[in-house]
Copies of this chain bind each other. A is one copy, B any other.
Amino acid sequence: MLKIGIAEDDPKIAALLKSALEENDYQVLTVANGIDALDLFSSESFNLLIIDVMMPGLNGIQLCKHLRENTVQTPILMLTAMGTIDDKVTGLEAGADDYLVKPFHLKELLARTAALLRRQPPIEAKTDHKFYFDDLVLDTYSKEVSRGGKIIELSAKEFVLLELFMRNPNRLLSRQFIAEQAWDISFETGTNVIDVYINFLRKKIEKDFERKLIHTKINMGYILK
């Protein structure tokens, strides 16, 4: 069952929303202020959050920002008071996915709710943006890498580095180039991070496999081939 969290300080509106949504077979939890909302929405996982902009303590915008900063990805529907047109911009900027101006018809709320929930599985639709090389697959959306069908766990930096190679197959990449692209350093530092990370990558993507993919060209750089 799909689970919806509501942050709304007006008890009448909160009750109205709750009953309307429950009638449509959603499971609903409500909180009456921003602080409680932050606690609840951060600790439990929801399919959708409905947040009122005007709340005592922590308002909807601030709440929204905090949640996004805590990497909460749940779709957020923002409820704004009429007249505050700029709330739309601010709300979206803070990380909301849609907004609704009060007063609204319950019908519209239900429609938008359904739309947002329907939009959740677009992760499946995002099957593009994959790079293939030999039996290695790198997906820039899910940030997943696999070789021969077997998922390989990479850290952020490891992923960025491998992505660079996958975007430039059969091209020799100098350390200088790699440093600029993956580490944003253009000057000469005495570091050997790149070597270390090449080593990390090799351990993860080559160790248990037959073919080597990342080759060293001494005094030149590395090449994926």
Given A115-B82, A155-B219, A223-B143, decide whether A12 and B89 contact each other with a Cβ distance below 8 A.
yes
Q: Is the CB of B142 within 8 A of A170?
A: yes
Q: In the complex, which residues of chain B have a beta carbon less than 8 angstroms from the beta carbon of A115?
A: 82-83, 140
Q: Is A196 an interface residue (CB 8 A)?
A: no
When chains A and B are docked, how far (Å) is the Cα of A35 from the Cα of B115?
A: 33
* Nearest CB in chain B to that of A106: its residue: B93
Interface flags for A76-115 (1: CB within 8 Å of B; 0: not) read 0000001101001100110111100101011100000001
A142 touches B171 (CB 8 A): yes
Size bin of chain A's contact surface:
35 or more
A159 to chain B minimum Cβ distance, whole angstroms, is 7
Which of A25-33, A39-47, A50-58, A118-126 lies on the face that meets chain B?
A118-126
Partner of A218, one of B85, B95, B129, B156: B156
Are A125 and B159 in contact (CB-based, < 8 A)? no
Task: Report the Cα distance A212→B157, complex, angstroms.
Answer: 25
Pairs A–B under 8 Å by Cβ, sample size 19: A16-B89, A16-B92, A20-B93, A82-B115, A85-B122, A88-B125, A92-B105, A92-B106, A98-B103, A101-B122, A115-B140, A118-B181, A142-B171, A143-B172, A143-B223, A155-B218, A155-B219, A156-B218, A156-B220
